[in-house]
Structure formats: C-alpha cells, structure tokens
Structure 1
C-alpha cells in the first residue's frame, strides 16, 4: 500500500524529511486482522512520516491533546491497536489525539538512531503551532507511547531540545517539550538487546539516564509478566522520583506485552480509568462534575 494510510493523514515535513534524501522506500501495510470488523495493521517502510488527527465530538473537547506513538520494536508500527484505538479512547474523555506514523531506524535513513525523535519533535511542534486552529491549550499537549513507542515518548520528554535536525521553517522554532508523558509497557534501556539497527535509539537514548527536573510529569503502566521486564518502567519512574518530577506507576499482576486497550483483560484493563484520574488530578483535563445527593441515581 502506497501513499496515505488514512484520509486525514497530515505529512510532517515539507519535502523530504531530514536523513531520508535519495532513499527509495515503499510503504507496506500488513493486515494482521483475525476479525474482519477489527483492523490490526502493521506499518513498515515509512518514508513520509505523518500525524493523523482525531478530535472529540463537537462541544466535548476540553482543550488537551496527546501525540500517540505506536509500538512495534522499532521494526513496525501497530497503527490500529496502539494508535487509532488509543485515539478514540482519548476522544471519549474530551482529549484530541494525533497518531504518529514515524520513520523506523532500520530502513536506511541517515542518522538512523534519531529519525524517530526527529519525527516526534516535529509532530509535537506541528500540533502546538495549530493549537488555536484546533482549539487546543498549547500547555496541555502531551505524548503517549507503547513499547518502543514508550521509549520514543520518554526520549521526546527528555530530549525535546536535542538539535537532531536543522530548522526548516517557523514551526521548528516552537517548543517541542510535551506537557505530560504516558508510557505503556515501555522499553527504556537496551538491556540484553543485540546491537541491531532497529534498536539504535535504545542504545543512543537510554531513557532513565536522561531525566532531570524539567522532564514532564509521567504516568506509567506495565504488567509483571511482560517479557519486556517491568524493570524498564521502574527505572524510569525511579529516575523521575529522584529528579523530583510528578509521576505515577502501576504494575499489574498479569497482562503480558502489547495489550493496548483491546487486549487488556482483568485488572490491567483498569489502566485507562487510572490514567483518566491522573490526567484530572494533574490538571490536564477537568474533573467530572460530582452529583449532589438529590442527583444520585436510584
């Protein structure tokens, strides 16, 4: 499949993205669906990185927004399960969402370790530059990521000033710091991973070693039985706590890896409720109006 993945996809860059010059790369979309009513696509061959906007129903938005980085071991992007599904949930709580289709480090781009970060910085800046147009609060724009996308989220939250590309236009003069981070079963450090090209960002940007007092507040969740050890989340949380950054961590007994929303069963399915509560407690989203005694349902 060539070209745009969905109708309202917005390309991040005017012209060729930095580091992808003279690269001939054809987008591939692998449909892994087992149910014809539920899409489960994996995207590879990304040469035209983009964001796909999802907005709450008219009159229900609260001005907050989130950039979504799907996972996929930096080899592919779980575009539906860890992208569109997540966007629709955020819309249900009044938050605008933007699914990021970012370039992958093992596909021939120059300076492959930083192309995901280039795209994430540019995407955050692009969203913030359109805040007035999209009725967003420019100081309530965060990032959520899953697995490798969780690593990218942590990297954006700690390396938002990293000069990984030369400014191309006025958008690149805008602050790329997210106002909050949400990390789902992230890979934070390389651990025992081999030095394969797709793991280059993990080796270059071990997330727990980059945290400082200016790192945005973070919400993390992981399963104890995940093959990507919950130690990754623990290490990032510990670094946040040491730096004095507001943070919340949940480790669930079971859930495995890559559950997102559609695969979350049992207690791990509570992560969305806990995340919504955290967003309210930190002032990113407004709290729900409590009912008076007379208004309580019978």
Structure 2
C-alpha cells in the first residue's frame, strides 16, 4: 500500500450504461462509494455496496461472439477501475470480445483517505501469508457477485450477440482470486467457460474435473505474492484441465495491461491468442463441450 500513488479525491465518473447486478433486488447504495484517482490519473473506488456490470461493446459488426467479465483488483478493499478494469475492457472490445466491467462489493474502509491507507495496509498485511484462506476473501461478497455477473451475461447472451458457451472471466490480483472462486465453486449456469488468472496467488487447491480452462500469468518478481512455483497450474493439470502459464521475468505486482519495458506488455495479446487456440474466438465452436 505504501508503494501506491497518492489518492486524489474525485467525483464518481458518469456511468450511464451500468446495470444493477441484481436488478430491482440490488443491495446497497451508490452513496456509500468513495472515488479517487491514483496519482491523480486512474479512477479507483472504495466502499462499494451497490454492485454493477457495465457492457463495453466491440465496434458494430466486429464482435466475434465471445464475452469476458472483467474483475479488477484492490485487495477486496478498493477497485482499480481504470488500471485493471475499463482499460482492460476496452482493449478486449478492440479485439472483438464483448467485455463486461464488474464493480463488485468490497470490505468497508474509513472514508477519509488518510485513515484508509494505514487501515488497508494493516488488513492486507495480515492476509498475505494465506491469501486464498484469509478473512478478506472468506467474508467477501465478490465471488457471489462474480457468479451473478456470469449468470447475467449468459442469460442475456442473445441481446448482446454472444455465444452463451463462450463466456469467460478475467481477474487481476483480488479480481483473479474472485474469478478463481467463481470458476471452481459456482454452479454450472454461473461458471465461466474460461478463466484469465492474472497475478493471483499460486497456492494449490483441489480442482474439479469440470473446471474451465485457465490462462495463468504472473511476474516472477511479484512483490505481493512471492514465487512459490505454480502449484495452482499443477492442480489444474492433475485434474486434466487445460492450463497455460506465463511467468514474466519482471513486472512486479499490478502490471495491468503491462509494465513498459517488460514483456508483461504482451499479456493481452497472449491471452487472446490462447483463447483463439482453444477455439473461444470461433463463432461455431462449442468450447465448453470440446474442452471436456
């Protein structure tokens, strides 16, 4: 947290296309949110209680029928809305993939920025030894919101010109942990067809035989999740599920679409090349059926 750019208070951006994730039953209120700009540039938000999903569409006639729910990170206490959210969604849409930016519920933090930073740092410090079994993930509504987002996109596939069998999820850091829980724990109707797991913890767990294919990317100098090898990828292999690993020499934690001067700048191209190799960008392909 100490290495993060200073947070400059900001008004919430206009988001006319945001969809309440649970419709009329949506919990919370927009008034709880605390918006800032990291370094005065990139939007972040804290204290989210009102989850939403924002479509980011390809240019007319350019969609390939695939869709991805984007889950930004922020230690379940903040969302990096620009850096790991809207920028990623727009980049996917530019490649013909219909993207859905997920703003999921967060652990409450002090409203004042000066109080929030040490609070979040202390909470995060307690979690890092066992991030996949910690309080922040364990008590979070993020996996529930992630599953609801996949279910919503699948239910409205025809409306967006999407193949309901080619709907995936990509997450960054806490968003990766969220996506991993959805991929493993959610019922079939709310489980993604593929998973982009970007600088999430590499700890192993039991992987079900019907887990979706996984694209796993992390920098070997990640300062938040120091290298343990790739136990989660090994667990995917033991379950006989497709998995691909990209371990970058440099990039640290939070490289988003890439840290300049490192090969992490290739991550989105590699992710979409992997999707294409596995048939997820081909209109007539039933990726879920063929990958099992």
* TM-score normalised according to structure 2 size: 0.78
* Equivalent position of 2:153 in the other structure: 127
Q: 1:226 to 1:220 in 2, by over 3 A?
A: same
Q: Secondary structure at the match of 2:152?
A: helix
Q: Secondary structure at the match of 2:181?
A: helix
1:237 is the counterpart of 2:237: no
2:18 to 6, 9, 31: 9
Q: Secondary structure at the match of 1:66?
A: strand
C-alpha distance in 2, partners of 1:254/1:262?
A: 10
C-alpha distance in 2, partners of 1:98/1:29?
A: 20
Q: 1:222 to 1:283 in 2, by over 3 A?
A: same
1:52 to 54, 57, 63: 54
C-alpha distance in 1, partners of 2:266/2:258?
A: 12
Q: 1:281 to 1:42 in 2, by over 3 A?
A: same
Contact (CA 8 Å) 1:222, 1:251: kept in 2 or not? Answer: yes
| Root mean square deviation, CA, Å | 2.5
* Equivalent position of 1:93 in the other structure: 95
1:186 to 184, 197, 200: 200
Unaligned runs of 5+ in 1: 162-173, 190-207, 288-298
Q: Which has the higher helix share?
A: 2
Q: Secondary structure at the match of 1:104?
A: coil
Contact (CA 8 Å) 1:2, 1:27: kept in 2 or not? Answer: no
| Cα displacement string for residues 5-29 of structure 1 (whole angstroms, at most 9, x for unaligned residues) | 52211110134546x6xx9961111
Q: Secondary structure at the match of 1:77?
A: coil
* Equivalent position of 1:153 in the other structure: 179
1:28 is the counterpart of 2:34: yes
* TM-score normalised according to structure 1 size: 0.76
Contact (CA 8 Å) 2:30, 2:48: kept in 1 or not? Answer: no
* Equivalent position of 1:203 in the other structure: none
Q: 1:5 to 1:234 in 2, by over 3 A?
A: farther
Deviates more, 1:118-127 or 1:135-144: 118-127
C-alpha distance in 1, partners of 2:30/2:87?
A: 30
Q: Secondary structure at the match of 1:143?
A: strand
Q: 1:61 to 1:222 in 2, by over 3 A?
A: same
